Amino acid sequence: MTSRRTLLGLSVAASLAVFAGPLASTAHAQGTIKIGELNSYKSQPAFLDPYKKGWELAIEEINAAGGIKGRKLEVISRDDNGNPGDAVRVAEELVTREGVTVITGTFLSHIGLAVTEFAKQKKVFFLAAEPLTDKITWQNGNEYTFRLRSSTYMQVAMLVPHALEMKKKRWALVYPNFEYGQSAATWFKQMMKAKQPDIEFVSEQTPPLGKVDAGPIVQALADAKPDAIFNVLFGPDLARFVREGNTRGLFRSRNVVSLLSGEPEYLDPLKEETPEGWVVTGYPWNEINTPEHKAFVAAYQKRFKDYPRLGSIVGYITMKSIAAGLQKTGGSTEPAKMIQAFKGLKLNSPAGPIEYRRQDHQATMGAWVGWLAQRDGKGVMVDFKYVDGAAVQPSDAEVKKMRPQ
């Protein structure tokens, strides 16, 4: 028989449960919305220090405007040590210890791929901010992963028309020997061969990332006697390559097409060593005159007393994208709702209008294409134009063949 004390206890417990329900709901509504972020801050500071400032500015703006349905955004950020294994461990900690169901970030392509697989296995929403490998949204694509930055395919497709205009037959390639570099080289050869069947690739130099021995590489390229060079090196590797190439006259009377080399992170350190006439993708921040971009630059300079790099704009748009998705979900970070919110998500940004494609979860963020020149001992981009990412993506039918169903 149930005792009077037991009945009284059950009654009190039931009352507390009823009372606690609304309290718990109210506390949740008033709490922050947590976003997990991971990146290679220690190993890739040139891009990622500005990137972090960019997303910090975006979070400050979002929260100052009232957040999402009255709830502020809170970013819990971790360093992945530039290592895929550490990245997965960090992502796991963000999910299990911090309780996030939205993660974002990553820079290097192989790390982005590792977190893409983690998102699939753990059913967590993942917005890849920067890694360029096409596999993130194609061969290794999954329901839980979206990507902001223009992919390797897209950026190569922006440069190929200019390479074809050069009408050069003998090409040499130099690229870092990891996923991003390999992908860029593959697409360049494939796209060029399709339009210029008689093209020859006379040399391919593939140094490890961050370990370029520029002397032998430049000599090997010179010995191959190419008419033109396709370069994919970036960061300190690019600086070593340019310095040695200038010293040995590698670029004299040779056309060069180069991915990323117009980005301030990599262009500014070259200063008076900047090679002129290279066709590049980049970010001429001080020459872009759209209202959205000018507002972004003004806010960034006011906040950090510095000019933005490409990383800055990527970090900024990353968090603005997540906020736009959360507005559609009503503040819910439930993965299924975030996925639906991001399919076809549109937003205005400092880089122009952006849409996240339904068919492959790739954003249409474009890039600026132009030529390198020197002004007052500094490298700049000239005669540039912005190429909308939507104009350089493959057809739906082609995507369907590459992306798992």
* Residue with the two structure tokens 């370069």: 231
Average pLDDT over all residues of the chain: 92
Q: Residue 404 — very low, low, confident or very high, per pLDDT cuts 50/70/90?
A: confident
The torsion region of residue 213 among left (phi > 0), alpha (psi -120 to 50) and beta comes to: beta
Helix axis angle, 84-96 relative to 109-122, nearest 10°? 40
Same fold, 29-150+288-365 and 153-284+368-392: yes
Considering the domain delimited by 153-284+368-392, tell me its CATH architecture. Answer: 3-Layer(aba) Sandwich (3.40)
Q: Which residues of 5-19 are buried (b: 16+ CB within 10 A; e: fewer)?
A: eeeeeeeeeeeeeee
Q: Is the pLDDT of residue 2 over 70?
A: no
Q: Residue 126 — very low, low, confident or very high, per pLDDT cuts 50/70/90?
A: very high
Helix or strand holding residue 173 (H, E): strand 170-174
Sequential DSSP letters for 19-83: HHHHHHHHHHHHSPEEEEEEE-TTT-HHHHHHHHHHHHHHHHHHHHTTTBTTB-EEEEEEE-TT-
- Domain range list for the chain: 29-150+288-365, 153-284+368-392
Q: Which pLDDT tens digit goes with each residue over 273-301?
A: 999 999 999 999 999 999 999 999 999 99
Report angle CA 134, 286, 73 to the nearest 5 degrees.
Answer: 60
Contact status, residue 179 vs residue 106, Cβ threshold 8 Å:
no
Cβ neighbours of residue 185 under 8 Å, at least 6 residues apart? 173, 175, 204, 230, 232
Q: Which amino acid is at 340?
A: Q
pLDDT at 22: 33
Q: Which pLDDT tens digit goes with each residue over 85-103?
A: 999 999 999 999 999 999 9
Q: Which pLDDT tens digit goes with each residue over 145-182?
A: 999 999 999 999 999 999 999 999 999 999 999 999 99
Helix axis angle, 45-64 relative to 310-329, nearest 10°? 40
Q: Is the pLDDT of residue 3 over 70?
A: no
- Please provide the CATH number assigned to the domain covering 29-150+288-365: 3.40.50.2300
Q: Is the pLDDT of residue 7 over 50?
A: no
Average pLDDT over residues 208-233: 96
Average pLDDT over residues 220-237: 97
pLDDT at 405: 67
